[in-house]
Structure 1
Amino acid sequence: MSQKKKEISFTLSLIPLVVMIVAMGFTIIQFEGSPHIPLILGTMVAGVIAWLKGFTAVEIEESIYKGIRHALPAIVIIILVGLIIGAWIGGGVVPSLIYYGLQLISPSWFLVSISVLCAIVAISIGSSWSTMATMGVAGMGVGISLGIPEGMIAGAIISGSYFGDKMSPLSDTTNLASGIAGADLFEHIKHMLHTTIPAFIITLIVYAWMGSSFSTDSIESEQVAAVLKGLEQHFVISPWLLLIPLTVIVLVIFRVPALPALCVGVMLGFLSHVFIQPGTIGEAVVVLHDGYAFESHIVMLNELLNRGGIESMMYTVSLTIVAMTFGGVLEETGMLRAIVMKIISFAKTSRSLVVTTIGSAFFTNLTASEQYMSVILPARMYTEAYDKMNLHPKNLSRAVEDGGTLTSVFIPWNTCGVFIIATLGVHPFVYAPYAILNIIVPILSIIFAITGYTIAKKQNVQPVSPDPSESSQSA
């Protein structure tokens, strides 16, 4: 059958998206249910429309598998994070981090401190996910022990992690955005400074203001003393155990890929559980699968330390798979492209083009459920439009980062959203108001686009990536 016969109109392409969003609203808000079923419903509707427009059942099925394949690296990381959380709790790493953190960090400056710490680590290793899986997990434990709401803690961790990720030349999304848009990597990072640095300064000021209500006097000293005593009773606490997360961070700094680096962290935590903590090999193996089981008279410690393991990640893995089936059908049948191309038609000026790019990146996050797609798809589709309007490609690379990478954390069925739910144990609806950096950066980017501030014109730019037409053909 001809390719023309398979083209799906903008109106038809919107139907599965509208069905999914309406079903999602009723399921989450009205019934307090899981987002799995609305995503499956949206996939089914998209599949029926594609079949009516000439796609075969085999082609639709293959589009689902392609979508899932996009998520396989994320799924492996999610499973490893489950292992590392269980191993580090059982091995005494997380308890030691909480123990020393409670003694060293002032409650009023905790949000600022954890955000800056995560930013430094993320710049060093180039990964927001690895930062949240290490420093973030420990930070949640310390912050909750200090009586700080979990949404605030998660928001500060996310803001710092994503700031560092965007500013790091080691970041995969930073390299991806600059490469596809045709911008030099360091030109891209320098251009992002205009939106990211002011946003991070505002973020830290807001966290300092929030933290002012959590003074040492407001924290019950008896509660903190009880937590410290409980940790001492149930775990071997030692500063030497802090070398385990430090080892993982150093490995990634020296360009060891995330998977083997996290595997080293799992093994070190496992060995610590067996040889340092009072645990057997059998108990340590069970913890890796089922998570750490902890019982004490201190309710807070029970809530902090009863987690981890592969089993705890299965909800996240299933949601990732379901979300990517929906995104895969929309992407491979051309529905997502039809929607984005319709949006492009409204961009008549260079300023509206940048705003449209930011909105399209967020929209792709919403529909394709994957932050990489929010960078890849708009960058491919808008390259020619930016070239025609004589805009420097670093405008495009910054726009897809500001509108795509940073907003991915707000969508519960996006791979970033589900990762944070599994890793930090906080729902996007809870931490969203406190992920200040991720809110402010897109807003500043839109304001700069409307006013023309920092929008650079092209001056004999030599592309550093393949020809845009070749990129779109290989998509």
Structure 2
Amino acid sequence: MKRQQALGLKLKMSYAAMQQGLIDGIHNGMEAVLVLTTVGALIGTWIAGGIVPSIIYYGLSVMSPQIFLFAAFFICAITSLATGTSFGTAGTAGVAMMGIGHSFGIPLPLVAGAVISGAYVGDKMSPLSDTTVMTASLCRVSLVDHIRSMLWVSGPAAIIASLLFLVVGFFYIGDSVDTQRTQIAMEALKGHFTINLWLLLPAVIVIGLLTRRYPAIPVITFGAVMGSLCAWLAQDIAPIDALRTAYVGNAMQSDVEFLNTLLNRGGMESMLGVVALILFALGLGGLMERIGVLQTISNGFLRWANNPGRLTVSTMLSAFFGNFFGGAAYVSVITGSTITENSYDEQGVDRRVLSRNVEAGGTITTPMVPWTDGGVFMATTLGVSTLTYLPFLWYHMLVIVLTVVYGYANIAIWRTTPTDANESNAAMATS
């Protein structure tokens, strides 16, 4: 960060202005920081309260190993579409899917790929998602039109990804699964937790409240409170200790090693390192935007973008730079939309294409970069490093490839008349 400060001073920019850029960058991502903290509390209390162990237990009892990857992708996709949050999906359904998959003997990076792929279907497509709403707003496109535009790419990508997970399940997992390990895991769960169907109720309530568009932070906090109550009433943990799990997470010891690894986690304390890294990345991104580094990098691509294919690639790269240098999906959405929007008007390309390309280069690539908020959160929550699960983010890769193909093949590239483009530029000049 000192190099960026030195560059700013060389450009005769005051220290106060650079500091404000750093503060603005952090401010833009504070909602993600708060969500991270509350999700950490949720994971800790839901494990201690037996909610996650109950989901794992009943999932093991009814789910076939061969269709598990498909089911994990589908369940996380439905959950994220209903709630609009990839973090909340990974922290609840995702953690449970990791436990079920490990007990089936499925490699954890593969399970994480299915979980994250499903979680980002909703993060990208749900009308409840903050990045979806933010992208539509910045690109000046109605939310419904934005989602319809993304369906052209996300629909085929989700179908193909689900089929890939299904095929891998039948042809790879079918011959190698260890069913005895499943029984050992179920017995260990029953030995350390009270397992009951009513313990699934907090998960149903939280998902239901998020579906009804209640704010994510208070809903997740309420879910953590319910988890503490379950730890006290169902698991016979002292009230103070039940509350402490919201901060320090769950602690247990069993004869099954993977349960020790999976269920000894959570709590706001576990997110402190993640929060520190994200704050640093957000501040760096804001500083680089203030001194013009991101603008300079992107301008080179804009001079090259003289057709819809190149325009698509330049928008995606501009959004990706927001992730790579800014460390957050919020930054990527801002850089992708604001840096390239004039080129769409000048070339007579509808802004629905702009909003779709911003999501493909920004939201989708967030968990693919190890130091972004999404990358750090997914690695910390699921216990698998970013570079390890990266090859299995099939939905993400398909969205990226299909978006580029659509751009060069002129598929779903809607046009505006020169008059519409001029009016758009005039409106921007007066705003």
TM-score (norm 2): 0.95
Q: How many residues align?
A: 429
Deviation string 1:22-51 (CA, Å, 9 cap, x unpaired) is xxxxxxxxxxxxxxxxxxxxx111111111
Q: Which residue of 2 aligns with 1:289?
A: 247
Structure 1 residue 325: deviation in Å? 2.0
Whether 1:304 aligns to 2:262 is yes
Q: Which residue of 1 aligns with 2:317?
A: 359
Q: Would the alpha carbon gap of residues 94 and 391 (structure 1) be closer, same or farther in structure 2, given more than 3 Å must change?
A: same
Q: Would the alpha carbon gap of residues 431 and 328 (structure 1) be closer, same or farther in structure 2, given more than 3 Å must change?
A: same
Q: Would the alpha carbon gap of residues 297 and 470 (structure 1) be closer, same or farther in structure 2, given more than 3 Å must change?
A: farther
Whether 1:57 aligns to 2:15 is yes
Q: Which residue of 2 aligns with 1:382?
A: 340
CA–CA distance in structure 1, aligned partners of residues 160 and 303 of structure 2: 35
CA contact (8 A) 1:123 1:165 kept: yes
Q: Would the alpha carbon gap of residues 390 and 424 (structure 1) be closer, same or farther in structure 2, given more than 3 Å must change?
A: same
CA–CA distance in structure 2, aligned partners of residues 215 and 361 of structure 1: 37
CA contact (8 A) 2:69 2:166 kept: yes
Q: Which residue of 1 aligns with 2:69?
A: 111
Q: What 5-or-longer segments of structure 1 have no aligned partner?
A: 1-42
**The 10-residue stretch of structure 1 (299-308 or 165-174) with the greater mean CA deviation from structure 2:** 165-174
CA contact (8 A) 1:86 1:288 kept: yes
Deviation string 1:286-321 (CA, Å, 9 cap, x unpaired) is 322221111112212111211111121112111101
Q: Would the alpha carbon gap of residues 470 and 371 (structure 1) be closer, same or farther in structure 2, given more than 3 Å must change?
A: farther
Structure 1 residue 461: deviation in Å? 6.1
Q: Would the alpha carbon gap of residues 296 and 165 (structure 1) be closer, same or farther in structure 2, given more than 3 Å must change?
A: same
Equivalent residue runs for 1:225-244 within 5 Å: 225-244=183-202
Structure 1 residue 57: deviation in Å? 2.2
Q: Which residue of 2 aligns with 1:192?
A: 150
Q: Which residue of 2 aligns with 1:209?
A: 167
Whether 1:181 aligns to 2:139 is yes
Match for 1:353: what amino acid?
Answer: L
Structure 1 residue 282: deviation in Å? 2.5
CA–CA distance in structure 1, aligned partners of residues 127 and 374 of structure 2: 20
Q: Which residue of 1 aligns with 2:182?
A: 224
Within the candidate set 215, 235, 254, 2:212 is matched to 254
CA–CA distance in structure 2, aligned partners of residues 266 and 454 of structure 1: 43
Equivalent residue runs for 1:8-407 within 5 Å: 43-213=1-171, 215=173, 218-407=176-365
Q: Would the alpha carbon gap of residues 469 and 312 (structure 1) be closer, same or farther in structure 2, given more than 3 Å must change?
A: farther
**Percent identity among equivalent residues?**
36
Deviation string 1:359-404 (CA, Å, 9 cap, x unpaired) is 2211221111111121122212222211111111101000101111
CA contact (8 A) 2:84 2:128 kept: yes
Structure 1 residue 216: deviation in Å? 6.0
CA–CA distance in structure 2, aligned partners of residues 469 and 114 of structure 1: 48
Q: Would the alpha carbon gap of residues 217 and 451 (structure 1) be closer, same or farther in structure 2, given more than 3 Å must change?
A: closer
CA–CA distance in structure 2, aligned partners of residues 470 and 142 of structure 1: 56
Q: Which residue of 2 aligns with 1:409?
A: 367
Q: Would the alpha carbon gap of residues 45 and 102 (structure 1) be closer, same or farther in structure 2, given more than 3 Å must change?
A: same
**The 10-residue stretch of structure 1 (139-148 or 83-92) with the greater mean CA deviation from structure 2:** 139-148
CA–CA distance in structure 2, aligned partners of residues 337 and 378 of structure 1: 11
CA contact (8 A) 1:78 1:317 kept: yes
CA contact (8 A) 2:318 2:339 kept: no
CA contact (8 A) 2:81 2:122 kept: yes
CA–CA distance in structure 1, aligned partners of residues 147 and 27 of structure 2: 29
CA–CA distance in structure 2, aligned partners of residues 231 and 269 of structure 1: 17
**The 10-residue stretch of structure 1 (242-251 or 337-346) with the greater mean CA deviation from structure 2:** 337-346
Q: Which residue of 2 aligns with 1:6?
A: none
CA–CA distance in structure 2, aligned partners of residues 453 and 234 of structure 1: 55
Q: Which residue of 1 aligns with 2:379?
A: 421
Deviation string 1:95-134 (CA, Å, 9 cap, x unpaired) is 1011001111111111100111111111112222221122
Deviation string 1:156-193 (CA, Å, 9 cap, x unpaired) is 11111111232222222112212221222222211111
Q: What is the SS of the residue equivalent to 1:54?
A: coil
Q: CA RMSD in A?
A: 2.0
Structure 1 residue 468: deviation in Å? 3.8
TM-score (norm 1): 0.86
Match for 1:267: what amino acid?
Answer: V
Match for 1:406: what amino acid?
Answer: I
Structure 1 residue 53: deviation in Å? 1.4
CA contact (8 A) 2:37 2:268 kept: yes
Whether 1:443 aligns to 2:401 is yes
Deviation string 1:221-271 (CA, Å, 9 cap, x unpaired) is 332222111111111100111111110000011111000110110000000
Q: Which residue of 1 aligns with 2:414?
A: 456
Q: Would the alpha carbon gap of residues 215 and 48 (structure 1) be closer, same or farther in structure 2, given more than 3 Å must change?
A: closer
Q: What is the SS of the residue equivalent to 2:141?
A: coil
CA contact (8 A) 1:148 1:214 kept: no
Structure 1 residue 416: deviation in Å? 1.1
CA–CA distance in structure 1, aligned partners of residues 52 and 357 of structure 2: 37
Match for 1:144: what amino acid?
Answer: H
Structure 1 residue 209: deviation in Å? 2.0
CA contact (8 A) 2:360 2:399 kept: yes
Structure 1 residue 213: deviation in Å? 4.3
Deviation string 1:379-433 (CA, Å, 9 cap, x unpaired) is 1222221111111110100010111110111001111111212222221101111
Q: Which residue of 2 aligns with 1:17?
A: none
Q: What is the SS of the residue equivalent to 1:294?
A: coil
Q: What 5-or-longer segments of structure 2 have no aligned partner?
A: none
CA contact (8 A) 2:44 2:267 kept: yes
Match for 1:237: what amino acid?
Answer: I
Match for 2:111: what amino acid?
Answer: I
CA contact (8 A) 1:82 1:309 kept: yes
Q: Which residue of 2 aligns with 1:24?
A: none
CA–CA distance in structure 1, aligned partners of residues 245 and 430 of structure 2: 48
